[in-house]
Amino acid sequence: MSNTAPKLLVMGNWKMNPPTIGSAKELMLDIRKGIGRHKSEVEVVVAPPTVYLPEMERITPSQRILLGAQDVHSEKSGPHTGEVSLSMLESVGVSHIIIGHSERRAAGETDLEIYKNVQTVLKGKAVAVVCVGETHRDAHGNYFGVVEAQLRAALRDVKPMWLKYLTIAYEPVWAIGTGETATPEDAHEMRLFIQKILMDRFGRSALKKVRILYGGSVKPQNAEALLQEGEVDGFLIGGASLKAKDFTEIVKIGERYVKNNPS
Ligand code: 13P
């Protein structure tokens, strides 16, 4: 991450929730109240369903909560029924785009589509939050190969000058929505592995620019250990981002962590 960027990123992925615009507004207003307006070393991003974005932009005017999207189409416009482009998302206030979430990969999204989306978002100078993660773990460590292949495919042709817009989210699929979390040691080991790939590909300076998040059953109860021992740069949060209290508590845990660990 660049030197001026906040130290941590906490991003909520609401997925296909909550069920109505009314309940989405209520959730966002509760999060807004919980987060407050003070300057912070924790960047907060919420990615609601696309259809709620204009209203979410209207009720989060302060820039304290930034808006994310859960997906994007790589083309600028054209015959792509049901899709949205980067410029459409940006026009309703979106700055961060989740790319290659495992739920989309499971629904058929390919490495090629993910590659194209990464290109579109980074060229457009929006933040690409690229998700990688294995479906299961085996005794032979093959999951490292899975993550490496996903990363290399997504980052092909990425230029070093774009790295400040790149964030990687390590989300082991077996930990998503299951209540089972990677241990802080697992998260740390994968962070080092991802850093090694970034270093091979872009050189050592990449490590300062690219954030590595963890996602998969993050909760107020495990967030501190994942920061402290996992040394991750923040979180991508599903279930707990739908509970304003839990989500804001995780942001506060991040703020305390930064305060107690000045670099
Ligand atoms: P959970 O936090 O519900 O496990 O979801 C993680 C996730 O998929 C965020 O993108």
Q: What is the dihedral of CA 200, 202, 208, 213, to 10 degrees?
A: -70
Read off the pLDDT band of 2 (50, 70, 90). Answer: very low
Catalytic residue (one of 73, 96, 101, 188): 101
Mean pLDDT of 36-61: 94
Please state the atom number of ligand 1 nearest to the C-alpha of residue 175: 4
Q: What is the pLDDT of residue 5?
A: 61
Distance 93 CA to ligand 1 centre (A): 23
Tell me if 71 CB under 6 Å of ligand 1: no
Give yes or no for residue 263 having a pLDDT over 80: no
Domains of the chain: 8-260 (3.20.20.70)
C-alpha closest to that of 244 among 261, 227, 220, 217: 220
51-76 confidence digits (pLDDT tens): 999 999 999 988 899 999 999 999 99
Tell me if 133 CB under 6 Å of ligand 1: no
C-alpha closest to that of 39 among 223, 259, 215: 259
Q: What is the dihedral of CA 261, 147, 166, 115, to 10 degrees?
A: -170
Give yes or no for residue 147 having a pLDDT over 70: yes
157-214 confidence digits (pLDDT tens): 999 999 999 999 999 989 898 888 889 999 999 999 999 999 999 999 999 999 999 9
| Model pTM above 0.85 | yes
Tell me if 132 CB under 6 Å of ligand 1: no
